[in-house]
Structure formats: structure tokens, C-alpha cells
Structure 1
Amino acid sequence: MSEFTFHDTASAPEGSKGILQKAEGKYGFVPNILRGLADAPAALEGYATLSGIYDKASLSPVERQVVLLATSFENGCSYCMAAHSGAAKMAQMDDAVLKALRTGTELPDAKLQALRAFTQAVVEKRGYADESDLKAFFDAGYSKQNVLEVVLGITLKTLSNYSNHMMEPKLDEQFKPLEWTAPKSEAAQ
């Protein structure tokens, strides 16, 4: 894989410095995903902007993390699975729900499972969710607004998942306790 540059606030292009400084102030460190995206200020700004917009969604903080983790699981992004496992804990996600999201097993909460299943369907079908996918989602108590918020969350995570696949950032020490490896698919066995 090509070597990408992982900038700090001193080495980053001018258009990225402010975003990295803001992240450092918020988290106490600059996550490697942001350090890598800093090489393309527009990509970093896009990620930061989408994150801020997604935080305004009507989905609860736990539901938003379900979407981000389900997308990262489907895309096999080890970095995002670790980072968002931490964010899910901060959002006070139930440990059993988080474990199920990380292992690809049924969630113990029916409504959250419907959210995860819908997210997976949208990712797998590249946005072509069918009537049965939508019906199950609506039957679980979600709305048309939530459909579009799921698409927003998938968009956010696709940007970081795909970037991570190419940049291959080292997992930050802060996320090491939540390290995750994609399960081997049956086809690969």
C-alpha cells in the first residue's frame, strides 16, 4: 500500500490545521484518521462537517453509533470499529448491544436490531433498500426522516472507512483496548 502522511498540527496543510487543533482540544489528541485526512483539507473538512451535521440527527446518540458501527462492520474497517466502540461506550450503549455489533450477532434490543438490519441492507444494496427493508424499519418505530439520517451516517462512515482502507492508519493508543478484527467470511475459510 502507498505510504500516506499523518500530519500533526505543525506539519498539516494550512486548510487542515484549525480542524486538527479543534480535534486535539476536544479529544486531548488528534486521532490518526484525522491526521491522515489532513493531507487533503477538503476531505478533512468534509469529514468534520458531516460529523457535526450527523450529531444533529434525531436519532439518539446510541442509535447514531449503531449506524456507524454497522456500516464499519459491513465495510470491514478495523480502525472505525475500535474508535466507534469507544464512542458507543461514551454514549452509554449497553455492553451486550456493543458486543453484538462487534461480533455480527443479533442485538438484544429489537428496535436497535431493526436499525442495524436496515443500515446493513442499505450498505449491502448500495442504497437500493427494498419495500421489505423499509417496512421492517418503519414497523420498528422509525420514520422517513430516520431513513435519510441513516443514509447520512452511512455517507460519513463510508468516507472514513474507505479512506482508512487506503491510508492504513495505526490504531491510536486510546483505542487499543477496543481493537477489532473483521471476522473471516465463510467464503474466505
Structure 2
Amino acid sequence: MSTLSKIEPTDATEPVAEVLAEVKKALGAVPNMAKTMAHSPALVRGWLALSGALSVGVIPAPVREQLALATAEYNDCEYCLSAHSFIGSKVAKLDPDEIERARHADSADPHAAALLALSDAIARGRGIVEDAALETARAAGVTDAEIAEVVGNLALNILTNYFNILADTDNEFPPVTPLAHA
């Protein structure tokens, strides 16, 4: 059972109704995560702003989905793992092998694999990364802009992972169980 309730758009009063309308405009739907986050319109707006800013960055959507999958797997977040498996498949057009590989912070594409490995190293080191990890990423062609955006994507994904784990958000996506719990 969820530890935080959802606020349905039809039941919302201002300013929650306004922020849920912003989510619907941005995403075309209002996922349960946003309905649950809506207890704090500031949090919803922060999530939307960071997500929107990164969506026009240098890391393409399929790789952002792979980064989200790797982070959700690392943090054992079933909601985010389920959501990004669905979005990765249906929207970013990742094939099932790439979705599975992303859960292990890997990819058949060497550049994407380097970004995933770097993100994994940053997460596991809580920001402390060996020089060799950065050298390996740069040798694979990872730019400083990409390194910066990996940190941004990691922050975004940790935000949603931790929120959904704490809230025990109702999962409306086809469920994907973290490997540690499978």
C-alpha cells in the first residue's frame, strides 16, 4: 500500500490542479508518480524542469532511458524500472536486449556503454570516481558536456527512484522486478 496518496486531477484544487495540468501538457498523461508528487507542486515543477532541460541536452532520448534503467536497477526501484522499460521500448524504441543490458549498466553501442559505465561509477562512488573511469569514458569519445549531463540524469533518476520507493507509488506500467528481488 502506498505511503503517500495519489491526488487525481479531477479531485485537485489549486495549485495542485494547475501543476497536474502542466504534467498532462508536457507528457500527454499524468502518471501515478506525478499524482503522488503533487502533494508538493514545487517538487513536480522541479522534476518537470530538470527532465525538460535534459531532454534538449546532448544525450539522446534512448540513452537517457538506458541511464534511467541502470539507475532504477541499482536503486531497486520497481516503479521506475517498469516505467522506463515501457518508455524505453514504446517511445525510445530500444530493443529488449538493450533494455536488459541497460539494467546491467551496459550497451552494445560502445559510446552508450561508456556513458552507462560512468553513470554507474558515479552512483556507486556517490560522486567519487577514479581517474581511470573518466579516462576510459573520454577514450570512448564521451565529452565534458555528456559527463555533466550524466550527473544531471543521475540526479533526476535518483530523485524519482527515491521518491517512488518511499511513496510506494502505485505502478500503472507492466511490472518489472529489480534483479535483486527476482
TM-score, normalised via structure 1 length: 0.86
Q: Report how many residues are paired.
A: 180
Maintained 8 Å contact 1:23/1:30: yes
C-alpha change, 1:154 and 1:165, in structure 2 (3 Å) is: same
Q: Residues of 2 paired with 1:120 and 1:129: CA distance? A: 10
Query: Does 2:155 align with 1:163?
Result: no
34-43 or 68-77, larger mean C-alpha shift: 68-77
Q: Does the CA contact (< 8 Å) of 2:77 and 2:164 recur in 1?
A: yes
Q: What are the Cα deviations for residues 11-59 of structure 1, in whole angstroms up to 9, with x where unaligned?
A: 3352332231233355554211101100011111111111111101111
| RMSD value, Cα | 2.0
Matches within 5 A, 1:4-153: 4-12=4-12, 14-25=14-25, 27-89=27-89, 90-102=91-103, 104=104, 106-153=106-153
Of 11-20 and 44-53, more deviation after overlay is shown by: 11-20
Identity of aligned residues (%): 28
Change in CA separation of 1:74 and 1:181 when aligned onto 2, cut-off 3 Å: same
Residue range with higher mean Cα deviation, 147-156 or 56-65: 56-65
Within-5 A mapping of 1:165-180: 165-172=165-172, 175-176=173-174, 179-180=175-176
Q: Give the TM-score of the pair, scaled to structure 2.
A: 0.89
Per-residue CA deviations over 1:110-148 (Å, capped at 9, x if unaligned) read: 222211111111111111112111111111111011111
**Structure 1: gaps (5+ residues):** none
Aligned partners of 2:3 and 2:67: how far apart in 1?
30
